[in-house]
Structure 1
């Protein structure tokens, strides 16, 4: 087997005309049929395999080599492996019109995708996969550099795919050189994507390149340990010299009401054009098909998809920015390994809007690329939201109680306290001695951070090396500020108050700019 090498993705927009788009749409429709055929066949074989006596006998055995061998023999007997499903896909392709539009490698990668979905379901790692509807398959992968490949003509990259020659749309400036460095790496394989942007279909080429992704500018990584407490709507981070508590992804606007109104309008349109699919009491008639989708319904669906796309783009941008700010404070980030499924059950709307699991994944990827590390520890043995470092007692608090009371009567914000305790967790155990040793220096830092909710205690906030104050609408130390020349530091008010207290005067504080300024939403765009 080949040695595994690191990979990164370089995505480029394709230059297409009406004829190219028609050919691509037909090929994606053909791959959609292959995917559904392979998915149905793999599910059928899985159900038959689970009903067999050998499978039931293997399940009753203790874990060991004999049990594994019996499982493997049963899967081979029922043809539940990738090569057998690929042969089924090739037989389906050659038996109909699909063979005129898809090659052998395209069929194999599509069938392998369907088989892996069923395989993950068989292992209990995912739910039962669903069949894809029309225009619901959004990507087709090449296999190596065989069918979908990248070639250069007149110093311009062109994607070739079975008679199609689609040039890549490049940035003519490429000031940071990222594009040139990415294209100089070896291409492992190419993936073709279909996306809907502002109601129009756009086609992209994702080049899976060999090596590490080139950096636009080196990400500065601090030294030290950062404790992180990630909640469904807030995030707290504490390092040696800084502490901050701020809303999690505040730039992602609350569009639940807009999405709900669009969904209700879509449902009314669907009921009006498909009356036979619903009973007299308004419930859905089981087994009926929604066959008619009016023009109004398609317009509403496109608006809803555009809102979701904008939210996803802003969420991903905010996650990357926040990950950079966390890494700028330390090279070891410690956080609890929380159950994101529990988050979804208890805080469904907030998790849908902010996606904390995606943020942790981005943070791990950036940390690995920058030479840092993210350490996740168990919550059952630490219980940071319940424990008190001075007494060692664990008292369960309701979610509405946001302040932790120590033995001496002093109070500290609950999320900040958990983030600070995370810095002293070693091997899934809290080191109470280190907590007591550092508490005197950390107490005023945490109190200042809690006094102003989304402003950092030190005033500098998480460093943002990629943002400059001169940019219009840039990102400040804590949150985005709209307009030029309105950059302020959170330490100004703290420093003025401290200077007045030391001097014994009643110097009035200079009013600052509100960090909670409401951002523009897409409500006007939708209307």
Structure 2
């Protein structure tokens, strides 16, 4: 059974907010202590001769495997050796208390010696269950860095630890009768009687555990409780209707093409998001000038940072005010983006419950190009920037996560096709050939029934993605032939709609 979350506002007084802030600060210190201990163990392991020897062997074997051909017998032997080395590396990590099976409750045993003395000192404020959860959080973050290739985890600064939760609703943070009990602290929750969604959820499903969240909104902190409930969220007055059928989506960095049997759409992702680049740059420059003016001794005469000066940074009142403006701008953008993605996800599910999408590596698209290319005409270097700004603004990966979560409530999931084998942006189902095209070529010319027709590239890709075979590695040409006439009609209607509308068009649409 799945879980879902509802967020409600606290009805707090000043003294209650002070207690919550104090407990969040204690949680921050415990989190940093756990993370620090993990880093110590990791550094000690890296310096050990056994680990360095095994790691060197692994690198050499990986090089040999890359040099081998596909059907080489030597490759099979090398892969067996690689498995043995990986096993030895796991044993070394176990010795340094950095590896246990993820299926077991490894996190508690891993750091209990670190946080139990701290927790005992703060037991009036932070209970054992909550401390365990904080340790879980530190270990999960560190495991992502150590195994999954995520960035190095950072220690939480003062005021950055903004949420705390427990394991179950029976102890620690307890929700009962529209009141949150946390030790001696009792805080009422704003739960309106006319809020049908919340009342239905609380009446229908059991509260699994609670999470207290602090948000900085319009220059001051606001406090919320997130109730994690077991089950499926109630539909909002029959607006969350999910139709049956196949839907193909071709999602880019700024646009999304949607294709079903009855609807073809080419939409901008999060159209409500405003371009804040100019305002953001202006505020950052303002902060830089203020920082230099109030901390003159921290800089050298040539403008570079004086590394020998270890004095604390001074922040003026104007500096703090500008920081708050920037923070509020980011928060607003994030809220608008999430709301927009939720609306679009509901619309996609109203077209069909079997949703196909290409696998995309958005992190790779955000990175700068490795090679510096010189422009032959101008003699200058081309910019190495790629799609970082547009992905940061539109967050296409977030939309896919929201879609997948909504499908899971219906015991389904987002179906990801094999991008490299299907080649939806290159394939032509009429002559069954692949033709590679440049990114700026946004239209395809197809020879259909003796005529040449122009089809928008993203919409055609969505159409092909919708009609993939069950193996998710090839296009079903027969199904494409059946539905292509209807697709052309819907395609032409959508292109006309975009041309007539006064909305600003994205250049990647090619219209």
TM-score, normalising length: structure 2: 0.81
Q: What residue is the counterpart of 1:451 in the other structure?
A: 496
Q: What residue is the counterpart of 1:105 in the other structure?
A: 129
Select which of 235, 238, 256 maps to 1:215. Answer: 235
The 3 A distance-change label for structure 1 pair 126 and 192 is same
Secondary structure of the 2:126 match is coil
Q: What residue is the counterpart of 1:30 in the other structure?
A: 26
Select which of 77, 92, 112 maps to 1:74. Answer: 92
* Kept after mapping to 1: 8 A contact 2:127/2:172: no
* Kept after mapping to 1: 8 A contact 2:163/2:211: yes
Determine the C-alpha separation between the residues in 2 that align with 1:119 and 1:130: 13
Say if 2:503 is the partner of 1:516: yes
Determine the C-alpha separation between the residues in 2 that align with 1:294 and 1:237: 50
Say if 2:421 is the partner of 1:381: yes
Gaps of 5+ in 2: 59-79, 100-106, 368-385, 506-511
Q: What residue is the counterpart of 1:39 in the other structure?
A: 35
Q: What residue is the counterpart of 1:327 in the other structure?
A: 349
Matches within 5 A, 1:3-14: 5-14=1-10
Mean Cα deviation higher: 254-263 or 178-187? 178-187
Determine the C-alpha separation between the residues in 2 that align with 1:183 and 1:296: 49
Determine the C-alpha separation between the residues in 2 that align with 1:93 and 1:451: 64
**Paired residues, what number?**
450
Say if 2:322 is the partner of 1:306: no
Shift of 1:250: 0.7
Shift of 1:137: 0.6
Say if 2:481 is the partner of 1:436: yes
Cα displacement string for residues 140-170 of structure 1 (whole angstroms, at most 9, x for unaligned residues): 1123235433354xxx421111221111111
Determine the C-alpha separation between the residues in 1 that align with 2:87 and 2:173: 40
Determine the C-alpha separation between the residues in 2 that align with 1:130 and 1:141: 20
Determine the C-alpha separation between the residues in 1 that align with 2:172 and 2:231: 20
The 3 A distance-change label for structure 1 pair 123 and 285 is farther
Determine the C-alpha separation between the residues in 1 that align with 2:293 and 2:415: 54
Shift of 1:132: 1.2
Secondary structure of the 1:438 match is helix
Determine the C-alpha separation between the residues in 2 that align with 1:21 and 1:404: 60
The 3 A distance-change label for structure 1 pair 434 and 199 is same
The 3 A distance-change label for structure 1 pair 20 and 321 is same
Gaps of 5+ in 1: 456-513, 519-527
Cα displacement string for residues 444-481 of structure 1 (whole angstroms, at most 9, x for unaligned residues): 322332233278xxxxxxxxxxxxxxxxxxxxxxxxxx
Mean Cα deviation higher: 100-109 or 159-168? 100-109
Select which of 458, 467, 470 maps to 1:415. Answer: 458
Cα displacement string for residues 463-500 of structure 1 (whole angstroms, at most 9, x for unaligned residues): xxxxxxxxxxxxxxxxxxxxxxxxxxxxxxxxxxxxxx
TM-score, normalising length: structure 1: 0.79
Shift of 1:402: 1.0
RMSD of aligned alpha carbons: 2.6
